[in-house]
């Protein structure tokens, strides 16, 4: 065959003919992973279509003429190219190869000896997925940008789907990304795979996704995997060490399942039979096979993996694998007290508070600041109140559920999958949540974290004490602080559920502007006239993947060192402009205490470009623009930054320490090496403070170390002008600043 290859014939080297996704599938088969059977319609088929209809030049001209910054023009060019491709006759030679491969795939399924006798009704359901050649490349990942079609059956539908996949090579966002990344001559392959009719499905993490511990975590449910992610039920949770020994086996309640209807191929929800609701999903044999596959994937890709599996009639299929990313550090919690409930710790932290059971969305009004939200499972409409509560406990859901994902994003302690938290706990009961271990204790159990206290007796400090903020919900601290030293906007975006890049791509920048105004305004008003330093977007590409539109975020090997902060903002100036416009509008309304802070800068020209963009949108003269000092490059160019006109410089010690010591913030294994007190880091802090003082630029700190009294005392001695700490550290930081200032006199 000229245009069709079996998946088995493909390896990761074959991106040119199989595209990124196809090459990965082939690679998994090559290393012995069971992957749903299928074939690839190679790029040669697409190229042939273009060639025999002679439409290559036409497409090129249309692309040359398009201004990708002009969304309307981009969309209409995309539409014209797609229509051009779809309207072409399908080359017979290619059609017959596809039909033959499809028949073979169907015959394998039916165990029919000769594919010739296969009738239409024997045809199998297939998934038809685009696999572009620029996709999944390490340099520029386009994963997920092109079309996919599920539950396709019969030859004609398959051919239609293939055409649509081909046309999707010219989706607006794909054209845009190729232009930005300078990719020319793209082509596209199509992966056709048998749909799995999962009896069971789940995920394997080859490390504990919460603690980073070197054990396998498996979660599994009946039916299709979608319900695992949505947290509709509480999955079984197995923890297995790498020798295959099962350490934890927690069987969840699975009253419903999503299954595929045999006739239509569509997914439908069914009630699970009584005996299956609380039954163990995976057999011990399946667990040990999965552990074996997990180990093999981790070894092959050289990184912990998060793999999805599906099991149909006892045969396991690996349908996808990607690297695990963990944000959390392990911190041992020492608790005593009466244990009343156990679940899975999904987002670490400790909190004590009043239980508020929320059975339906109308009861959400019960939640007050600091309550422990207890619910069967979370949904996006609970998010605004989640941020108000001190911790979350759910009956259902696993480590990948909505509750877990959102809580981690918010830094809120969460325990999921307790099974019966909503019936065991009582409204108003005081409990302590240890979300490191997944345990709920009765009453108040000793907690290390400092709570805000009455600060009225504390004298005013010379060095300003500011606070780091995420939401507008916890801003009573305004009266006892000198402003906001870091306002992270990422969580306003998470709450909105939509990726800003998608809004901008679709010409909906104004919605992003509104999201920011809604998030920033109450904070700026409360702190007025004290300054609020709003940091421009600094989300790593892996952190927003769950948002609407996040599916096209590039896959980067090291997102921490990748496309985030000012470098991304300058690549996507429309996003930055929307942020600036939001600030400009609020300032015009009188909130002229709002200023701009740029993250992850390495060269003064980045600052200059950002300021030019601010000028371009007419921000005016009176706003301050400063930088975060979080790269050694920035530290050693601080003089040049000062000369370029920065108004302030604030240490992002989380990143600065990571980059100075070569200690990945996300890697729990080496977390013990992360120390801001390393002489090299201290040396840098001292140097920057000195230089800033020389140029009369306000030096500050907004990394975690700014909440450490010992560090703050040192910085005051070095001559820092302000420090910004977490809300719960304001008291001790004000005390530390006072005592350091007194010592100096």
Query: CA–CA separation, 460 vs 741, rounded Å?
Result: 11
Which does residue 485 touch among ligand PEP, Mg ion, none (CB within 5 to 8 A, set by kind)?
none
User: What are the two backbone dihedrals, phi and then psi, of residue 115, each rounded to the nearest 5 degrees?
Assistant: -70, -20
Based on CB atoms, which residue is closest to ligand PEP, 222 or 533?
533
DSSP reduced 3-state for 87: coil
Select from Mg ion, ligand PEP, none the partner in contact with residue 667, using the beta carbon and a kind-dependent cut-off of 5 to 8 Å. Answer: none
State the minimum distance, in angstroms, from the CB of residue 538 to ligand PEP. 6
Q: Is 692 exposed, middle or buried (0-12, 13-18, 19+ CB in 10 A)?
A: buried
Query: Strand order in 391-394's β-sheet?
Result: 339-342, 439-442, 430-434, 350-358, 372-375, 391-394, 414-416, 344-347
83 three-state secondary structure? helix
x/- contact string, 329-368, with ligand PEP (CB under 6 A)? ----------------------------------------
CB atoms within 10 A of CB 185: 10
Helices 709-718 and 730-744: crossing angle in degrees, nearest 10, is 40
Helices 679-695 + 709-718 axis angle, to 10: 40
Q: Which is nearer to ligand PEP, 606 or 630 (CB)?
A: 630
Residue 110 DSSP SS3: helix
For ligand PEP, give the closer residue by CB, 66 or 628.
Answer: 628
Provide the annotated active-site residues: 402, 702
Applying CB under 6 A, which of residues 97, 538, 542, 556 lies at the interface with ligand PEP? 538
Cβ distance to Mg ion smaller for residue 172 or 652: 652
- Residue numbers of the site for Mg ion (CB under 5 A)? 630, 652, 655
Region 472-511 residues binding ligand PEP, contact defined as CB under 6 A = 486
Taking CB under 6 A as the criterion, the residue among 27, 553, 556, 655 binding ligand PEP is 655
Cβ atoms of 273 and 160 within 8 Å: the answer is no
Coil, helix or strand for 146?
coil
Contacted by 135, from ligand PEP, Mg ion, none: CB < 5 to 8 Å by type = none
The count of residues interacting with ligand PEP (CB under 6 A) is 9
Distance CA 500, CA 478 (A): 29
The span of 476-484, 509-517, 646-654, 729-737 binding ligand PEP (CB under 6 A) equals 646-654
Establish if 654 lies at the interface with ligand PEP (CB under 6 A): yes
Angstrom distance (rounded) from CA 707 to CA 470? 15
* Residue for token pair 């422990």: 372
Q: Which does 583 bind (CB under 5 to 8 A by kind): ligand PEP, Mg ion, none?
A: none
Of 352 and 653, nearer to ligand PEP (C-beta) is: 653
Helices 573-588 and 604-616: angle between axes, nearest 10 degrees: 60
Shortest gap between Cβ of 532 and ligand PEP (angstroms)? 15
User: With respect to ligand PEP, which residue has the nearer C-beta, 626 or 652?
Assistant: 652
Is-contact 271 235, C-beta < 8 A?
Answer: no
The least CB distance from residue 650 to ligand PEP, in Å, is: 8
CA atoms within 13 A on the CB side of 324: 33
Nearer to Mg ion, 655 or 676 (CB): 655
The yes or no reply on residue 702 touching ligand PEP (CB under 6 A) is yes
To the nearest whole angstrom, how small is the minimum distance from the Cβ of residue 427 to ligand PEP?
36
Q: Which of 680, 683, 678, 676 is nearest to 702 (CA)?
A: 676
**Min separation Cβ 653 and ligand PEP, Å:** 5
Let me know: does 545 contact 323? Beta carbons within 8 Å.
no
Q: Using CB under 6 A, which of the segments 445-453, 476-484, 652-660, 732-740 binds ligand PEP?
A: 652-660
Shortest approach of ligand PEP to residue 408 CB, angstroms? 14
Using CB under 6 A, which of 630, 647, 676, 698 touches ligand PEP? 630
**E-only strand ranges, 456-606:** 464-469, 484-487, 532-535, 594-598
Of 145-153, 187-195, 526-534, 651-659, which segment contacts ligand PEP by CB under 6 A?
A: 651-659
- Go through 92-118 and write b for each residue having 16 or more CB atoms within 10 A of its CB, e for each that does not: eebbebbeebbbbbbbeeeebeebeeb
Name the minimum Å distance from CB 535 to Mg ion.
9
Site string for ligand PEP, 598-617 (x = CB under 6 A): --------------------
| Closer Cβ to Mg ion, 238 or 600, answer by number | 600
Nearer to ligand PEP, 406 or 634 (CB): 634
88 touches, from Mg ion, ligand PEP, none (C-beta below 5 to 8 Å by class): none
From 632, 594, 645, 629, select the one nearest 701 (Cα to Cα): 629
Q: In this chain, which stretch among 83-91, 409-417, 633-641, 649-657 interacts with ligand PEP, using CB under 6 A?
A: 649-657
Residue nearer to Mg ion on the CB measure, 136 or 606: 606
Shortest Cβ 600–Mg ion spacing (Å):
6
Task: Choose among Mg ion, ligand PEP, none what residue 702 binds, the Cβ cut-off being 5 to 8 Å by kind.
Answer: ligand PEP
Q: Shortest Cβ distance from residue 715 to Mg ion (Å)?
A: 17
If contact means CB under 5 to 8 A according to the sort of partner, which of ligand PEP, Mg ion, none does residue 703 touch? ligand PEP
How far apart, in whole angstroms, are the C-alpha atoms of residue 623 and residue 592? 7
Verify binding: residue 652, ligand PEP, rule CB under 6 A.
Answer: yes
Tell me how far apart the alpha carbons of residues 322 and 317 are, in angstroms, rounded to a whole number: 15
Taking the complex as a whole, the smallest distance from the CB of residue 675 to ligand PEP amounts, in Å, to 14
Q: Pick one of ligand PEP, Mg ion, none as the site partner of residue 653 (Cβ within 5 to 8 A by kind).
A: ligand PEP
Pairwise CA distance, residues 231 & 267, whole Å = 17
The residue range among 14-22, 49-57, 188-196, 653-661 that interacts with ligand PEP, by the rule CB under 6 A, is 653-661
Q: Based on CB atoms, which residue is closest to Mg ion, 519 or 652?
A: 652
Interaction of residue 703 with ligand PEP, rule CB under 6 A: yes
299-318 binders of ligand PEP (CB under 6 A): none
What token pair was written down for 514? 């509104």
The values of phi and psi at residue 643, to 5°, are -65, -30
Question: Out of ligand PEP, Mg ion, none, which partner does residue 434 contact, by CB within 5 to 8 A per kind?
Answer: none
Q: Could you identify the residue written with the tokens 């979350």? A: 392
CA-CA-CA-CA torsion for 481, 483, 489, 490, nearest 10 degrees?
-40
HSE-up of 455 (CA within 13 Å, CB side)?
Answer: 22
Question: In whole angstroms, how close is the CB of 654 to ligand PEP at the nearest point?
Answer: 3
Say how many Å lie between the first and final Cα of the chain, rounded.
86
Restricting to residues 57-96, name those near ligand PEP by CB under 6 A: none
Binding site for ligand PEP (CB under 6 A): 486, 538, 630, 652-655, 702-703
């Amino acid at each position: 065959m000229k245009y069709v290859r079996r998946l088995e014939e493909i390896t990761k080297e074959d991106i040119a003919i199989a595209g990124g996704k196809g090459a990965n599938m082939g690679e998994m088969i090559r290393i012995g992973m069971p992957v749903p059977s299928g074939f690839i319609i190679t790029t040669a088929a697409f190229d042939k279509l273009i060639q025999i209809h002679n439409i290559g030049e036409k497409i090129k001209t249309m692309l040359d003429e398009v201004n990708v910054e002009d969304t309307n023009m981009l969309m209409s060019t995309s539409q014209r190219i797609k229509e051009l491709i779809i309207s072409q006759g399908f080359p017979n030679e290619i059609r017959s190869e596809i039909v033959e491969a499809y028949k073979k795939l169907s015959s394998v399924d039916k165990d029919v000896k000769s594919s010739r006798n296969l009738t239409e009704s024997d045809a199998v359901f297939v998934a038809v997925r685009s696999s572009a050649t620029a996709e999944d490349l390490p340099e520029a990942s386009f994963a997920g940008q092109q079309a996919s079609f599920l539950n396709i059956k019969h030859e004609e539908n398959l051919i239609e789907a293939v055409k649509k996949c081909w046309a999707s090579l010219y989706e607006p966002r794909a054209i845009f990304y190729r232009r930005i990344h300078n990719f020319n001559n793209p082509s596209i392959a199509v992966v056709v795979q048998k749909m799995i009719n999962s009896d069971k499905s789940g995920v394997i993490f080859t490390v504990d996704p919460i603690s980073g511990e070197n054990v396998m975590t498996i979660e599994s449910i009946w039916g299709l995997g979608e319900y695992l992610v949505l947290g509709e039920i509480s999955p079984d949770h197995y923890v297995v060490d790498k020798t295959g020994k099962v350490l934890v086996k927690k069987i969840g309640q699975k009253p419903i399942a999503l299954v595929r209807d045999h006739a239509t191929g569509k997914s439908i929800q069914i009630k699970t039979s009584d005996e299956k609701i609380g039954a163990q999903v995976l057999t011990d044999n399946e667990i040990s096979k999965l552990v074996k596959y997990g180990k093999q994937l981790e070894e092959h890709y050289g990184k912990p993996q998060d793999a999805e599996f599906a099991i149909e009639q006892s045969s396991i299929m690996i349908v996808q694998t990607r690297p695990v990313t963990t944000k959390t550090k392990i911190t041992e919690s020492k608790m005593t007290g009466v244990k009343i409930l156990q679940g899975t710790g999904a987002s670490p932290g400790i909190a004590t508070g009043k239980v508020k059971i929320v059975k339906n969305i109308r009861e959400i009004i019960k939640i007050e600041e600091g309550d422990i939200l207890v619910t069967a499972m979370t949904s996006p409409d609970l998010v605004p109140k989640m941020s108000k509560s001190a911790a979350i406990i759910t009956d259902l859901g696993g480590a990948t559920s909505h509750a877990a994902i959102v809580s981690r994003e918010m830094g809120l302690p969460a325990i999921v999958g307790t099974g019966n938290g909503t019936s065991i706990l009582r409204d108003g009961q005081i409990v302590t949540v240890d979300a490191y271990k997944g345990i709920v204790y009765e009453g108040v159990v000793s907690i290390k974290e400092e709570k805000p206290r009455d600060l009225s007796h504390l004298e005013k400090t010379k060095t300003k004490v500011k606070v780091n903020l995420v939401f507008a919900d916890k801003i009573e601290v305004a009266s006892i602080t000198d402003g906001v030293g870091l306002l992270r906007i990422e969580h306003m975006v998470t709450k909105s559920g939509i990726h800003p890049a998608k809004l901008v791509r679709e010409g909906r920048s104004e919605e992003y502007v509104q999201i920011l105004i809604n998030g920033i305004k109450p904070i700026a008003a409360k702190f007025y006239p004290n300054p609020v330093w709003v940091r421009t977007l600094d989300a790593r590409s892996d952190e927003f993947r769950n948002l609407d539109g996040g599916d096209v975020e590039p896959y980067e090997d090291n997102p921490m060192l990748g496309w985030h902060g000012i470098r991304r903002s300058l690549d996507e100036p429309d996003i930055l402009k929307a942020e600036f416009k939001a600030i400009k509008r609020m300032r015009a309304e009188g909130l002229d205490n709002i200023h701009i802070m740029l993250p992850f800068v390495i060269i003064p020209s980045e600052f200059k470009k950002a300021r030019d963009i601010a000028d371009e949108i007419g921000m005016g003269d009176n706003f301050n623009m400063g930088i975060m000092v979080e790269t050694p490059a920035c530290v050693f160019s601080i003089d040049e930054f000062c000369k370029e006109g920065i108004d302030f410089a604030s240490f992002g010690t989380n990143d600065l320490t990571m980059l100075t010591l070569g200690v990945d913030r996300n890697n729990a294994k080496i977390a013990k090496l992360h120390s801001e007190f390393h002489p090299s880091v201290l040396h840098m802090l001292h140097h920057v403070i000195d230089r800033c003082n020389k140029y009369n630029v306000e030096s500050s700190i907004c990394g975690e170390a700014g909440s450490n009294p010992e560090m703050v005392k040192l910085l005051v001695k070095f001559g820092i002008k302000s420090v910004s700490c977490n809300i719960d550290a304001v008291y001790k930081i004000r005390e530390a600043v006072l005592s350091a200032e007194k010592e100096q006199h």
